[in-house]
A and B are shown apart, each in its own frame.
Chain A
Amino acid sequence: MRDIDVKEVTRAVAECCIDSCNNLPEGVLKKLEAARKEEISPLGCQVLDTIIENAKLANKKQVPLCQDTGLTVVYIDIGQEVHFTGGDLWDAIHAGVAKGYTEGYLRKSSVDDPIFLRKNTQDNTPAIIHCRIVPGEKVHIIVLPKGCGSENMSQLRMLKPADGLEGIINFVLEAMRTAGPNPCPPVTVGVGVGGNAEKATELAKYALARKIGEHNANPQYAKLEDDLLELVNKTGVGPSGLGGKTTALAVNVEYAPTHIGGMPCAVIFNCHAARRSETTI
């Protein structure tokens, strides 16, 4: 058994919030630079140059890459040998978000009531928390701030077994064409297949929490990721949706067992400002 003070969690979450919003993961920057070399559209080249410059400038000045620092999605894997002390763990995570967004000059974009009041909570809380209990005595945290321009283009479709692989591919391409410029391409496409409605959606988001460049461990799904990436990059959407061959930097697919009668599929986009920060306590 290992005791961990929840203040440690607050501190870790706050640091990840600031780090992710100001510093584009190096892997993403490398992919953008590689894509720039391949891009054929003049507008697309201009866009890629600007977003590469933007990432470097944000890093240098330690300011947010994008003003929409999103709702804060927090993945927390808790080793089952861990015992939290000093307070409520959930409160500690929310406090970390409040601290990070306040001290880091990040935009507070969370409203308390979606329909009637829509009053800003002033500190970007609550976090959206996904928690797993895992073996061991460590705590692993991934913070994934997610802006609304890309989130609003998410789609869930309750595909049927007869729709098959073709149904999945067509749905992903349709979602990409519909999204067009809105999710700020080049995007990362998160695809969740299987489970039920909420499981597929959760998987699509979890697919975006992956480090860029990682593939699904199942070779068939890894190949599907490559195939989808190639097809998405033929839609012509291009950087900022202004035309070109760099529409996505990656397609990440996650899957889960599903019902004999179903094949739900969710697609969630992450923008080129693919913010992500992780830490282990």
Chain B
Amino acid sequence: MSEQPNEREIDRSKMEVTDEIAIHISDMNKWFGNFHVLRDINLEVKRGERIVVCGPSGSGKSTLIRCINRLEEHQKGNITVDGTELTTDLKNIDKIRSEVGMVFQHFNLFPHLTTLENCTLAPIWVRETPQKEAEEIAMEMLKKVKIPEQAHKYPGQLSGGQQQRVAIARSLCMRPRIMLFDEPTSALDPEMIKEVLDTMIELAEEGMTMICVTHEMGFARQVANRVIFMDEGQIVEQNEPVEFFNNPKSDRTKLFLSQILGH
């Protein structure tokens, strides 16, 4: 909930937004039974964008990004990811899921597998990568998130921050073109938040297309090129971070920002 002080300068050389459309969502609606969680969502994400989604609890942030890789099914409207439309066609769903990485609030590592096995599982079974090659990729990714020395430990033996970094590495091993983050730091103790945010910042610097549901406004200021505010299942306001924080337009955004930033 706080602004993380970050001493490091962000390297913006590769952080560029292209014209290519990565995700296209138009008039998307979703209900849980009778409850209308997402209402007329329209969103276009370009390749290279770093989007932060925020909003009060229960506003539908998680549901929105979970629709993008079909962990939830939308009932109206279209979602197109990398040119593939999400329909009931299982082939399309599998294709999109292997292109889109997701990081969860509670890590969801596989506790019966070692860190390395967590990372090699999907490449081996989904991409049919030979085991040795998959292990090389996994070690590369574990180096990137700075825990190669934990490769042979089980998730239960790692700290929360380490687990979340393994979860990020596990996603990266599939070489995704888009990464979704659902409150990746909210289950972490304060001293571990920074190590996870640093990893995410590095990803952004490499030009990864990212959608992050997070309340880390420091992170939003530093790397996001767009902040989206949701309330009651609708996108209420979106803007570039400086404008969004300094000059919010809607009252709901102002209220939310005053609560979360504590002034």
Is A bound to B? no
Q: Which residues of A contact B (CB under 8 A)?
A: none
